[in-house]
Structure 1
């Protein structure tokens, strides 16, 4: 474990040594060879059988290490996500870091009425609009479960809202393969067709195994559809340490890694070279409350280990940031969410989700979203480290000012003071000026910012033709369910 700086690329933090990464890899391969996975998908089992895996009892599959090695050789080491305009937005490679929201919270902390209530379509649209405006929110997820939509259509309706209310890339959730196919259709409408979507993917699909050591039919179905269509896939263990994965950080990493690698093998057998993002969704179990929790030191260490394994495999990485166990946007929320954000960035996690999550992911807070946007800005400045070029060293300026002078009037200050990080959310005034401005807390200012964005910001809309096409896709899906719910 260590901190350093690397050839002008800023600060970094490593959790595992190269030897530890190798030990975890070999232990995961042993699990795949000796214990295997139960896979509830016939095509995937057959792909593995034909590739040389041993299959027992119909769907218990044992993976030879050679299949893992081959999959790692064919999977790309970089994945790019594009915005709705076809511009490269997220370069998932190396230690580049990007931040976005989470999906499917049950409750919405209304920033104006202060109620904890169900999400509506209007709430999600407003939340996505705020994400579209915030400069340090790089991608969006669906944020809230819709209480005013047909339960069978929620993920489709969520995507329709996302793609029409932001130009930013997305990470999506889909109940099953049919839902994913409809989301692909909607995204293709927005970017100019399926070939354009394949060439410049607008979204990544999030799907996962069921720990311990099982692959549900729906998860693999989505994985295979994504591979076929060139949609980037994140196949992440959603384990709970002490319940569905081992309680030790190392043991949780071994099992989560085995599950991710088995998904990668299936994915690459279906379409060698298809884009894949390595990740996890593990949280420790608090044995006092029996609640899976965010932001503990073990959770941060697990994320660091997972990111280091991604670097070891030369795969893009996926993780957490900006989330909390707190029930309201308070000191605990800021402390936990900031720790995850800062450490994830220092660890070099490429794409971090769940910014704005509260109450273990059950509730979403727009105040936390806006405050986290600033925390991410601070973190990004920190990651740049210190520039030591001739101009930054300021030797000539120091000579000009000399003993007893000051730098306020020097040209070096005028040229460079804007290089420093500035905030328009935190308060840097003295007490008198702060009280004169209403004695507002950070939460007060975050609510003011939410209100201002909703009053003044309109994302670039899709065309009327695209709106109509999206509506038609939704209508056809609804008809398959027998009409309105």
Structure 2
């Protein structure tokens, strides 16, 4: 039996879903921008005076029914890489930070393309990081194409699928064209998705110009979408868990229904990034215990609706890789794993999802290993009845050489890697008293030295870079990476 966390009673899950549908049918969502005309072409009726679109329960149920319960991701070579369904849990680096924690100076600074390429090389070699994200935004490339540039660097340096997203005008189209270069065309990209894109509604109950355009264009391209409401409990969301879950569910279902109206079968992840609003400091911690309750709650709602799930967990709001970073990340990782969240975005992230740290990423890889080990199914393995084992233990005073131990300990007793210090004090002194930061820096260099991924063919590089040059009439100077 696999360990699972059940946070809500089943009847409460159903009531939350029904209340969310009622909110959408009576209040609707505000939709804005040129894509409103596209929705009206599909037969959706937007109120001309308020700009709100009300959605019937039948419309929402039809969307839920057509959304896949399983999403298979493929690598850049077209090989199957990850299956997002049921209680399969995958961890992926947090994304879209504006700063990095420089590993040499331990100071926060703006990232470069070289930093992003280095991150990809390290993350590519981390065993428990299932796939990549466009973790931060390089500042040495014009921001008009920065979203696509991040995706390009990830695909140029790793075969793994990528979690990404657009934040510029026409960003989805440019990025979708980039992805299609790794397939025979649009249809194969739909059949073998290489990326998940994030779309965030504007809480409360609003799809603004850019989010709506991104959502519609992702659906048109068949790109899997994680719908990620960013609730701030007590500010732009009810302060209570159930109230927040109703709003959260309504926002996810509104995006799901719109995407299915554009293209039935568009893969959707029931995602989120709820945070508690700190009434004194006016900060928004996603690691607050109240936010963690919302994460665990909507994981159950996603399961009830038979939808893959996503969450911004296994991260920290701390500024450095200190004890706070460790306990916040560890708690989040274990809760996400126990909740069966399919795609957990967070490793490597600090400071309210604003700063990415390579040191934290390699340490978080070990936290993920512990969380994944904890949720392995527990069953009988030659230890019931236990009498013979106890007899041998009493007779020998140990079980070190017992046949049962020799058979089972390699898979039962997890031995952490070097990021976790299991030496005693004397052993630690003999090894030069390395700090946690020393171990992280050594691990980063080790992963960089071990990195080995076939480069993209020159002609493919040329095609992709043409996308960027076209935007600037051939006058774009490519950063070094």
Q: Please classify the TM superposition score into its range, dividing by the shorter chain length.
A: over 0.9
Match of 1:427 among 412, 421, 426: 421
Q: What are the Cα deviations for residues 381-425 of structure 1, in whole angstroms up to 9, with x where unaligned?
A: 110142313378776655566623432233333332211211122
Is the deviation greater in 34-43 or in 118-127?
Answer: 34-43
Is the deviation greater in 367-376 or in 395-404?
Answer: 395-404
Q: Distance in 2 between matches of 1:211 and 1:442?
A: 39
* Residue aligning to 2:256: 264
Is the deviation greater in 54-63 or in 331-340?
Answer: 54-63
- Is residue 2:280 matched to residue 1:281? no
Is the CA contact 1:374–1:423 (under 8 Å) kept in the aligned structure 2?
yes
* Residue aligning to 2:222: 230
Query: Which structure dedicates a bigger proportion of its chain to strand?
Result: 1
How far the C-alpha of 1:260 sits from its partner, in A, is 1.1
Q: What are the Cα deviations for residues 68-96 of structure 1, in whole angstroms up to 9, with x where unaligned?
A: 11111111111111112222222111111
Alignment of 1:186-197 (within 5 A): 186-197=178-189
Cα RMSD (Å): 2.2
Number of equivalent positions: 476
Change (3 A) 1:394 1:437: farther
Change (3 A) 1:177 1:63: same
Matched residue SS, 1:360:
coil
Change (3 A) 1:310 1:45: farther
Match of 1:129 among 121, 131, 135: 121
The TM-score, its normalising length taken from structure 1, stands at: 0.93
* Residue aligning to 1:384: 376
How far the C-alpha of 1:479 sits from its partner, in A, is 2.5
* Residue aligning to 1:32: 24
Matched residue SS, 2:469:
helix
Is the CA contact 1:294–1:336 (under 8 Å) kept in the aligned structure 2?
no
- Is residue 2:307 matched to residue 1:315? yes
Match of 1:369 among 348, 361, 371: 361
* Residue aligning to 1:331: 323
Is the deviation greater in 197-206 or in 25-34?
Answer: 25-34
How far the C-alpha of 1:483 sits from its partner, in A, is 5.2
Is the deviation greater in 42-51 or in 294-303?
Answer: 42-51
Is the CA contact 1:54–1:63 (under 8 Å) kept in the aligned structure 2?
no
* Residue aligning to 2:430: 436
Change (3 A) 1:18 1:26: same
- Is residue 2:77 matched to residue 1:85? yes
* Residue aligning to 1:299: 291
Q: What are the Cα deviations for residues 165-207 of structure 1, in whole angstroms up to 9, with x where unaligned?
A: 1111111121246221221222222344333221110001101
Is the CA contact 1:81–1:89 (under 8 Å) kept in the aligned structure 2?
yes
Q: Distance in 1 between matches of 2:56 and 2:8?
A: 25
Q: Distance in 2 between matches of 1:109 and 1:284?
A: 24
- Is residue 2:165 matched to residue 1:165? no
Q: Distance in 2 between matches of 1:484 and 1:443?
A: 36
Q: Distance in 1 between matches of 2:224 and 2:309?
A: 12
Q: Distance in 2 between matches of 1:172 and 1:389?
A: 42
Alignment of 1:195-234 (within 5 A): 195-234=187-226
Is the CA contact 2:163–2:195 (under 8 Å) kept in the aligned structure 1?
yes
Q: Distance in 1 between matches of 2:305 and 2:472?
A: 42
The TM-score, its normalising length taken from structure 2, stands at: 0.93
Q: What are the Cα deviations for residues 418-439 of structure 1, in whole angstroms up to 9, with x where unaligned?
A: 1121112212222211111111
* Residue aligning to 1:446: 440
Q: Distance in 2 between matches of 1:144 and 1:179?
A: 16
Q: Distance in 2 between matches of 1:320 and 1:153?
A: 25
Is the CA contact 1:150–1:484 (under 8 Å) kept in the aligned structure 2?
no
- Is residue 2:58 matched to residue 1:66? yes
Is the deviation greater in 193-202 or in 281-290?
Answer: 193-202
Change (3 A) 1:392 1:423: farther
Q: Distance in 1 between matches of 2:308 and 2:367?
A: 23
Is the deviation greater in 23-32 or in 334-343?
Answer: 23-32
Q: Distance in 1 between matches of 2:76 and 2:416?
A: 28
* Residue aligning to 1:4: none
Matched residue SS, 2:211:
helix
Q: What are the Cα deviations for residues 12-49 of structure 1, in whole angstroms up to 9, with x where unaligned?
A: 00111111111111221221122221101454466468
Is the CA contact 1:94–1:311 (under 8 Å) kept in the aligned structure 2?
yes
Is the deviation greater in 77-86 or in 117-126?
Answer: 77-86
Q: Distance in 2 between matches of 1:125 and 1:284?
A: 33
Matched residue SS, 1:280:
coil
Matched residue SS, 1:190:
coil
